[in-house]
């Protein structure tokens, strides 16, 4: 007897563009949400797997929206990598059920005139280097949270300051969502995974690993007992001077409020962050000062 073929379970999540369809698909389900700008890689897949684990039997939603509001006039909005088919595959294999892919007029209709600005944590570092960036991030994240209405939302620790800004907004505005940070995924070289790595050749990626080596040098100095902020910072700068094509935005040793201190205490939320342009691409990375801080410890609220 010939058996009928097994029904094929598609690993590809359904793509939804209309917020009303999204609401209908999610009604009555526990929801975990991973907001992204697409060009999904293993770092995103890790977030999606954590989302899957957070709501067994619930729905995992990944948004793919390249948010114009968080790009400055001279930034890479028009060339930001876009690959919806690849995103469906990565998201599906990691366990996503739905991919929310709104267009710009849906998110920013004519006359859109509201923004969310989070003061304090969003001001130094990337806030200073990219004016308006975090207002764009906070505004779109609030909109996405309102559209998806998740129980849990997951963000990568690679964007440490973004995570702090989102946590502060969620706390200040009493948003009913549990924000979780997920540790950075790295190449074997130490380079943090990022959609922008797609701009780099294999050789350039290998060279860009100098950023993580600089962060590790700061960790090593901290482990040796150094607590002076300036000296910790210098340990990282000494490594960066060995890099060929690097223009530094900042290398900063900060507390949970994202501000530098003269003397660092033993707070596990202390962090070293770096942003630099290498081979024409802006890259960021960060690590806890205390190398032993457990992965995922950032679920303790920064800021």
Positions touching ligand PAF (CB under 6 A) are: 35-37, 67, 70, 137, 140-141, 159, 162
Closest to 37 measured CA to CA, from 76, 95, 92, 3: 76
Is 157 annotated to bind a ligand? Reply is yes
Among 44, 101, 259, 292, the active-site one is 44
If the CB atoms of residues 59 and 133 are measured against ligand PAF, the closer one turns out to be: 133
Minimum gap (Å) between residue 301 Cβ and ligand PAF: 17
Mark out the alpha helices in the chain (DSSP H runs): 19-26, 42-54, 84-94, 104-107, 126-129, 133-148, 160-172, 202-208, 210-223, 229-240
Is 196 annotated to bind a ligand? Reply is yes
Is 143 annotated to bind a ligand? Reply is no
Is 57 annotated to bind a ligand? Reply is no
If the CB atoms of residues 35 and 236 are measured against ligand PAF, the closer one turns out to be: 35
What is the four-CA torsion angle of 165, 171, 177, 180, rounded to 10 degrees? 50
d(CA 76, CA 160): 21
Minimum gap (Å) between residue 36 Cβ and ligand PAF: 5
If the CB atoms of residues 103 and 238 are measured against ligand PAF, the closer one turns out to be: 103
Contacts of 228 (CB under 8 A, 6+ apart): 262, 263, 264
Mark out the alpha helices in 224-292 (DSSP H runs): 229-240
Is 85 annotated to bind a ligand? Reply is no
Contacts of 42 (CB under 8 A, 6+ apart): 185, 193
Coil/strand/helix, residue 271: strand
Minimum gap (Å) between residue 35 Cβ and ligand PAF: 4
Minimum gap (Å) between residue 39 Cβ and ligand PAF: 9
Q: Is 44 a catalytic residue?
A: yes
d(CA 64, CA 18): 13
If the CB atoms of residues 11 and 81 are measured against ligand PAF, the closer one turns out to be: 81
Binding-site members for (R)-pantoate are 70, 162
Binding-site members are 37-44, 70, 156-159, 162, 185, 193-196
Binding-site members for beta-alanine are 70
Catalytic residue list: 44
């Amino acid at each position: 007897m010939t058996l009928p073929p097994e029904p094929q379970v598609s690993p590809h999540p359904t793509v939804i563009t209309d917020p009303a369809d999204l609401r209908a698909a999610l009604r009555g389900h526990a929801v975990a949400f991973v907001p992204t700008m697409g060009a999904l890689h293993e770092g995103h897949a890790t977030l999606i797997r954590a989302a899957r684990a957070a709501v067994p039997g619930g729905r995992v939603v990944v948004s793919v929206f390249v948010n114009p509001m968080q790009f400055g006039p001279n930034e890479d909005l028009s060339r930001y990598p876009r690959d919806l088919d690849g995103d469906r595959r990565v998201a599906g294999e990691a366990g996503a059920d739905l991919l929310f892919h709104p267009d710009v007029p849906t998110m920013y209709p004519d006359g859109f005139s509201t923004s969310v600005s989070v003061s304090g944590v969003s001001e130094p570092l990337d806030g200073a280097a990219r004016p308006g960036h975090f207002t764009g991030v906070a505004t779109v994240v609030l909109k996405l949270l309102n559209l998806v209405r998740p129980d849990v939302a997951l963000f990568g620790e690679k964007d440490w300051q973004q995570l702090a800004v989102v946590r502060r907004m969620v706390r200040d505005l009493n948003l009913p969502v549990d924000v979780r940070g997920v540790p950075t995924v790295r190449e074997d070289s130490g380079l943090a995974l990022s959609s922008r790595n797609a701009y780099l050749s294999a050789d350039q990626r290998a060279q860009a690993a100098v950023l993580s080596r600089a962060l590790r040098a700061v960790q090593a100095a901290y482990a040796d007992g150094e607590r002076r902020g300036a000296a910790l910072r210098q340990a990282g700068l000494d490594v960066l001077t060995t890099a060929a094509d690097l223009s530094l935005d900042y290398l900063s040793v900060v507390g949970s409020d994202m501000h530098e201190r003269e003397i660092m205490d033993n707070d596990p939320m202390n962090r070293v962050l770096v942003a630099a342009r290498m081979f024409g691409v802006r890259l960021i990375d960060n690590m806890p000062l205390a190398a032993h801080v457990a992965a995922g410890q950032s679920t303790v609220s920064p800021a």
